[in-house]
Amino acid sequence: MKPLRFPPALTPPGLRRLGLADIAILCLLGGLIATVVAFAREFEAPFTQAVRIDLSPAALPRYTLYSLSRGVLALAISYVFALAFGWAAAKSRAGERLLLPLLDILQSIPVLGFLPGLVLGLVSLFPTRNVGLELAAILMIFTAQAWNLALSFYNSLKAIPAPLRDASKVAGWGPRRTFRELEVPAAAQGLVWNGMLSMAGGWFFLMVNEAFRLGDHDYRLPGVGSYMSVALDQGNGPAMALAIVAMIVMIVSVDQLLWRPLVVWVEKFRLDETAGAAAPTSWVLDFLRRARLPRRAAVLRWRAYRTARRAARPLEAPFKSVGPVILRGPRIAFEHPIARAIGAALMVAVVGAAAVLGARQLWLLLAQLGRAEWASLVGSGALTFVRVMGAVVLSTLWALPAGVVIGRSPRLARALQPVIQVVASFPAPMLFPLVILLLERVGVGLGFGAVVLMVLAGQWYILFNVISAVAAIPQQLKDATTVFRLPRLARWRVLYLPAAVPALITGWVTAAGGAWNGSIVAEYIEAGGALRTTRGLGSLISEATAHANFPLLAGGIALMSLIVVGWNRMVWRPLMQWAQERFGMET
């Protein structure tokens, strides 16, 4: 008996000749839907201050997906913020003068500076549900991701060649089409590469975001960070190892399934033509390009659109007269100079009012500090400053030569760069307790051990910047050193090290910022079931958070922001300008 087969006309288009890639897409979509549903249930769950964390291996995949969901949601919010912030700063001189210093201040505030206000405010808004605590965790991850993306998009908009902007004007493109077809594609590569760094920055404080204490309140959310935190509190070695393995698997999976395909895809938006450079590849993207479902989905979407247009055709006539007013009215209004001036004035007024209110509240908190507390703040700040600078120096000692060696060899860069990206994305605080226990065995205390932990937090920024700078050296300069038969030491002295100097200083800036943030965890850490502290601004901020001492917390954060912003303005920025003038390729 012949098997019953439906005629092709009755067979759904998506089920005809499904390949392995189509099945993989369906599995990924199913897994994505299941993850979204499970994570949504966590939002709607009754509020529990300290959720019980199950340390069994079976619970770890679910916790890992929860952490990944928070990181992805925070990254999506960061991209929306970056597009709006960067566009406003690049398009308006007044906005640039207002927003860039504001960004400088915001990125100098550590995560714990945002934690009390976000947690207490959002939990009070949603007292019976878990929504407030989840939103607080997502927004704290956002504060570790957004500033880098916003600055990247702003710099990309400023770097768009004038001929391309002139061509868009000649073609009659409006602001929206220019944004969609010129500005975002021109910034796509920077947004993707900085998105990878931002995602890594979000993982850095994963344990703090998912398990933290504020006074006598112990807040926890189910996730791999809280899993690791509870395992450390209990001294459960197998659970710690499982958390590290789960984190590595998640980072590698995100790199292969998301970032590598995006890196290959945004290559089509490259503005320059780099001769001889090997194009990046992605096995995932090559595999998914064989799928038939996306093409079938496009056909079905077009058919649905045509059907909807036919159904709505009787309703089109009544709206023809009011349609132009509804669709074009707001655009015409905001294109008027008076309307734009009013909108800008309102924005400045709102930002100014918020700044005045925040400054008043900060002043009221700082006024409660006595002379002894201010002396302790200044002394602790000086100690942490010395540790941060020591961490930058130690990081440079190995990252500069390693970056030059990797950057000057395309084969070595292609082999090691993906590995380095994955290692750099791993949240260093998850390894801090293990490193401290190892250092104690060899007789190194937390006073110097904190410097080692800060190196783990900031070294990758220097390495990545040096690799990218050396890899971008024009081939003509490399050929010139070969023609003149310069020895290896001379090539380093006259070509590789000078070419790396501007990027090296940029790496110092970001590495110092990472070390300042890392000081909060490095100077106040639980390892082996015991709390270990050393005097410093980071430990002072962590201790103030743990005891809900808001005046001392405000003083520590204000002092850290003042040191970071002041050092950036007085030292790093002039040094960067000197390096660009002295060693820039265009000079």
297-311 pLDDT tens trace? 667 677 776 777 777
Question: Contact 194/152 with Cβ under 8 angstroms?
Answer: yes
Tell me, what's the pLDDT at 317? 62
Show Cβ contacts of residue 567 under 8 Å, excluding neighbours closer than 6 positions. Answer: 512
My answer on whether 354 and 409 are in the same domain is no
Comparing 104-108, 183-187, 219-223, 557-561, which segment has the lowest mean pLDDT?
104-108
Does any domain span residue 471? Answer: yes
Residue 55 maps to a domain: no
Looking at the fold, whether 468 and 414 belong to one and the same domain comes out as yes
In a domain, 77, yes or no: no
210-239: b or e for each residue (b if 16 or more CB lie within 10 Å)? bbbbbeeeebbbbbbbbbbbbbbeeebeeb
Q: Are residues 355 and 377 located together in one domain of the fold?
A: no
DSSP element (H, E) containing 42? helix 20-44
Query: Dihedrals φ, ψ of 540, to 5°?
Result: -65, -40
What's the CATH code of the domain at 481? Answer: 1.10.3720.10
Q: Does any domain span residue 270?
A: no
pTM for the structure as a whole: 0.79
C-alpha angle 239-244-249 in degrees, rounded to nearest 5:
120
First to last CA, the chain: 82
Q: Report the range of poorest mean pLDDT among 13-27, 134-148, 377-391.
A: 13-27
pLDDT at 112 over 80: no
Cα 204 to Cα 225: distance, rounded to the nearest angstrom: 10
CB 490 within 8 A of CB 358: no
Residue 587 DSSP label: -
- What per-residue confidence (pLDDT) applies to 300? 66
464 and 568 part of one domain: yes
Task: Report the C-alpha gap between 519 and 531 in whole angstroms.
Answer: 15
- Do residues 580 and 495 both lie within one domain? yes
What pLDDT is attached to residue 3? 47
Average pLDDT over residues 129-158: 84
pLDDT tier at 383 (50, 70, 90 boundaries)?
A: very high
| Full domain range(s) for residue 378 | 370-587
CA distances from 92 to 96, 185, 210, 337, 339 (A): 6, 21, 38, 13, 15
| Other CB atoms within 10 Å distance of the CB of residue 121 | 12
Instruction: Assess contact for 251 and 419: CB atoms under 8 A.
Output: no
Q: What mean pLDDT do residues 181-205 have?
A: 83
Length of the chain: 587
Answer with the residue of higher pLDDT: 475 or 405: 405
For residue 3, tell me if it sits in a domain.
no
Is residue 465 located within the same domain as residue 383? yes
- pLDDT grade for 496, boundaries at 50, 70 and 90: confident
In which element (H, E) is residue 139 found? helix 131-158
3-state secondary structure of 1: coil
Q: What digits encode the pLDDT tens for the residues 20-48?
A: 777 777 787 787 787 777 777 777 777 77
* Closest alpha carbon to 531 in 310, 213, 227, 127: 213
Better-predicted residue by pLDDT, 380 or 216: 380
| Cβ–Cβ under 8 Å, residues 392 and 515 | yes
DSSP string, 246-312: HHHHHHHHHIIIIIHHHHHHGGGG-SS--TTPPPP--HHHHHHTT-SHHHHHHHHHHHHHHHHHHHH
Helix locations, 281-431, DSSP H: 283-288, 293-319, 323-335, 337-366, 371-407, 410-425
Both 344 and 376 in one domain: the answer is: no
Q: Which two tokens stand for residue 223?
A: 């996730």
pLDDT at 336: 64
Final residue before a domain boundary, out of 315, 343, 367: 367
Domain boundary among 338, 367, 396: 367
Using pLDDT thresholds of 50, 70 and 90, give the confidence band for residue 379: very high
Task: With H, G, I as helix, E, B as strand and everything else as coil, classify residue 353.
Answer: helix
Q: How confident is the model at residue 385 (pLDDT cuts 50, 70, 90)?
A: very high
- Smallest CA-to-CA distance from 80 within 168, 191, 225, 222 is with 191
- Asked if residue 523 and residue 505 are part of one domain, the reply reads yes
- Asked if residue 520 is part of any domain, the answer here is yes
In a domain, 487, yes or no: yes
**What letter would DSSP give residue 15?**
G
pLDDT at 358 over 70: yes
Cα gap 413→468, rounded to integer Å: 10
Residue 10 lies in a domain: no
> Are both 499 and 458 inside the same structural domain?
yes
pLDDT above 60: residue 333 = no
Boundary residue ending a domain (367, 394, 417): 367
pLDDT(6) > 80? no
Q: What percent of the chain has pLDDT over 70?
A: 87
Clarify whether residues 513 and 478 are in a common domain: yes
333 with 407, same domain?
A: no
pLDDT of residue 81: 92
Same domain for 363 and 403? no
Mean pLDDT along residues 406-434: 80
Cβ-contact 459, 511 below 8 angstroms: yes
CA–CA separation, 406 vs 467, rounded Å?
6
The domain tally of the chain equals 2
